[in-house]
């Protein structure tokens, strides 16, 4: 399955390259940016997505992710009360805080709202200590998780994102993390859409201005330091034919809060207006029936083990024509999930993408007599 998903990912890159040649990307006033279609997993457009950048408070998305995992694994409870350490209380007094107090225990739920809505650095430290016992151990978990998710150009130095030479990432890596949060923890991702939160009699608004400007935006997070500039990950979900389509924009290093908001909105609108996501094939749908030799049956169903979704410029989907290339002859035994060829989607005689095709069923070997007969047939073929 991992090999199949990797092959699907590589085909997405092939498709993205073809798309980039036909539809110019917008001009975005940022050091680095990208637009990801989370529905298909496809990168639509990007500028310097692998540039090393400072994540600032976007670091808190990983802190939230690890907390969500702890909740899923029953290591924490959402209503659990957490004691506030002096270390969490004293974190950079000039930075954003939710204003927790060492004398007052606080719930994990309130800390998550303080983290993602108010961007509290004190909340980040308190959650790190609740999950891992201490901040240093939590940072180790952050980096281990980043590697597991494929964020190969990322390193975390703390749970909040205050400046450190050992705190860096890329727009591409952040899009990976954002997609995992949304897909794995939708029940907790909803916190990102909360417009304001009150704790300790102090009400603070969510810094994601798109929540007020675009009703389809439901997250995700902003960040800012003098060295990082103004950064933002935004996500929106809008109807697209028979699907609900989600886009994720990552904008790093703009010069103001207003600019990161405007450029994020520009990216999302451009992606929704100029592209569509279509389901080419459903999971386990039979694409073709292939002849199989020396098997317990003569034919085998082939197709895909997952839904095949692709994002293309509007007007292209109707022009795509499938071209199947099999690894003939197919000789039993063939296990379900085995790669048996590839399907090319052609547009005007040119390949737009390639997808690996797999066996949808297991075909065992025939009897010794059946194998002998097919060996003779193959020899004569």
Structure confidence by residue, pLDDT tens digits, 302-327? 999 999 998 989 988 889 999 999 88
Q: Quick one: which of 166, 174, 159, 6 has its CA closest to 91?
A: 159
Least confident of 137-146, 175-184, 209-218, 292-301: 292-301
pLDDT at position 236? 98
Percent of the chain past pLDDT 70, that is, above it, reads: 91
User: How high is the pLDDT of residue 6?
Assistant: 39
pLDDT at 15 over 70: no
Indicate the range of 95-109, 210-224, 357-371 predicted with least confidence.
357-371
> Over the stretch 116-161, which tens digit does the pLDDT of each residue have?
999 999 999 999 999 999 999 999 999 999 999 999 999 999 999 9
Task: Locate the domains of the chain by residue range.
Answer: 32-276, 282-380
Please state the separation of Cα 101 from the chain's center in Å: 35
Instruction: Among 2.60.410.10, 3.30.70.1530, 3.30.2180.10, 3.30.2350.10, name the CATH number for the domain at 282-380.
Output: 2.60.410.10
Instruction: Considering only residues 206 and 348, tell me which one the structure prediction assigns the higher pLDDT.
Output: 206
Classify strands 286-293 and 330-331 as parallel, antiparallel or unpaired.
parallel
Q: Which residues are annotated as a binding site?
A: 221
Spatial CA neighbour of 140 closest among 130, 123, 122, 128:
128
CA triple 371-375-376, angle to 5 deg: 120
The answer on pLDDT for 104 being more than 90 is yes
What pTM, to 2 d.p., does this model score? 0.88
What pLDDT shows up at residue 365? 82
pLDDT band for 355, please (50, 70, 90 cuts): confident
Cα distance between residue 61 and residue 82, in whole Å: 20
CATH among 3.30.465.10, 3.10.150.10, 1.10.3720.10, 3.40.710.10 for 32-276: 3.40.710.10
Q: If pLDDT is split at 50, 70 and 90, which confidence band does 380 have?
A: low
Mean pLDDT of all residues in 56-85 = 98
3-state secondary structure the chain: CHHHHHHHHHHHHHHHHHHHHHCCCCCCCCCEEEEEECCCCEEEEEECCCCCECCHHHHHHHHHHHHHHHHHCCCCCCCCEECCCHHHHHCCCCCCCCCCECCECEEHHHHHHHHHCCCCHHHHHHHHHHHHCCHHHHHHHHHHHHHHCCCCCCECCCCCCCCCCCCEECHHHHHHHHHHHHHHCHHHHHHHHCCEEEECCEEEECCCCHHHHCCCEEEEEEEEECCCEEEEEEEEEEEECCEEEEEEEEEEEECCHHHHHHHHHHHHHHHHHHEEEEEEECCCCEEEEEEEECECCCEEEEECCCCEEEEEECCCHHHCEEEEEECCCEECCECCCCEEEEEEEEECCEEEEEEEEEECCCECECCHHHHHHHHHHHHHC
At residue 12 the predicted structure's pLDDT band, cuts being 50, 70 and 90, is: very low
> 279 or 12: whose pLDDT is higher?
279
| 201: region left, alpha or beta (phi > 0 left; psi from -120 to 50 alpha) | left
The model's confidence at residue 8, banded by pLDDT at 50, 70 and 90, is very low
Lowest mean pLDDT among 102-106, 218-222, 338-342: 338-342
Banded pLDDT at 7 (limits 50, 70, 90)? very low
pLDDT band at residue 286 under the 50/70/90 scheme: very high
Calpha distance 216→202 (Å, rounded)? 28
Q: pLDDT at residue 115 above 60?
A: yes
| pLDDT over 70 at 197, yes or no | yes
Are 219 and 208 contacting, i.e. CB atoms less than 8 angstroms apart? yes
Q: Which residues are annotated as a binding site for substrate?
A: 221
Catalytic positions are 57, 60, 119
Question: Residue 377's pLDDT band (boundaries 50, 70, 90)?
Answer: low
């Amino acid at each position: 399955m991992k090999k199949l998903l990797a092959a699907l990912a590589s085909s997405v890159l092939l498709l993205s390259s073809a798309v980039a040649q036909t539809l110019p990307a917008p001009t975005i006033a940022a050091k680095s940016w990208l637009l990801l279609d989370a529905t298909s997993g496809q990168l639509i457009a990007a500028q310097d997505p692998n540039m090393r950048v400072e994540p600032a408070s976007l670091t808190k998305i990983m802190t939230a992710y690890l907390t969500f995992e702890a909740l899923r694994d029953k290591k924490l409870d959402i209503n659990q009360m957490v004691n506030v350490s002096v270390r969490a209380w004293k974190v950079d007094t000039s930075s954003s805080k939710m204003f927790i107090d060492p004398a007052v225990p606080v719930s994990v739920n309130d800390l998550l709202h303080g983290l993602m809505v108010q961007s509290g650095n004190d909340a980040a430290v308190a959650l790190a200590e609740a999950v891992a016992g201490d901040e240093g151990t939590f940072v180790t978990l952050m980096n281990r998780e980043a590697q597991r998710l494929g964020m190969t150009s990322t390193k975390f130095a703390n749970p909040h994102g205050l400046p450190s030479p050992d705190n860096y990432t890329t727009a591409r890596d952040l899009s990976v993390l954002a997609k995992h949060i949304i897909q794995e923890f939708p029940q907790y991702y909803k916190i990102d859409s909360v417009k304001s939160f009150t704790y300790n009699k102090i009400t603070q608004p969510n810094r994601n201005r798109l929540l007020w400007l675009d009703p389809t935006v439901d997250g995700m997070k902003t960040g800012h330091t003098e060295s990082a500039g103004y950064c933002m990950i935004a996500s929106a979900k809008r109807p697209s034919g028979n699907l609900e389509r989600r886009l994720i924009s990552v904008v790093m290093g703009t010069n103001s809060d207003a600019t990161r908001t405007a450029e994020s909105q520009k990216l999302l609108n451009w992606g929704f207006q100029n592209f569509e996501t279509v389901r080419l094939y459903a999971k386990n749908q039979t694409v073709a029936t292939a002849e199989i030799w020396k098997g317990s049956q003569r034919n085998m169903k082939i197709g895909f083990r997952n839904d095949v979704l692709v994002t293309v410029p509007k007007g292209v989907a109707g022009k795509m024509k499938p071209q199947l290339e099999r690894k003939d002859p197919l000789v039993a035994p063939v296990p379900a999930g085995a790669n048996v060829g590839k399907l090319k989607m052609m547009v005007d005689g040119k390949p737009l993408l390639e997808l690996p095709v797999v066996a949808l069923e297991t075909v065992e070997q025939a009897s010794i007599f059946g194998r002998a007969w097919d060996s003779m047939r193959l020899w004569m073929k």
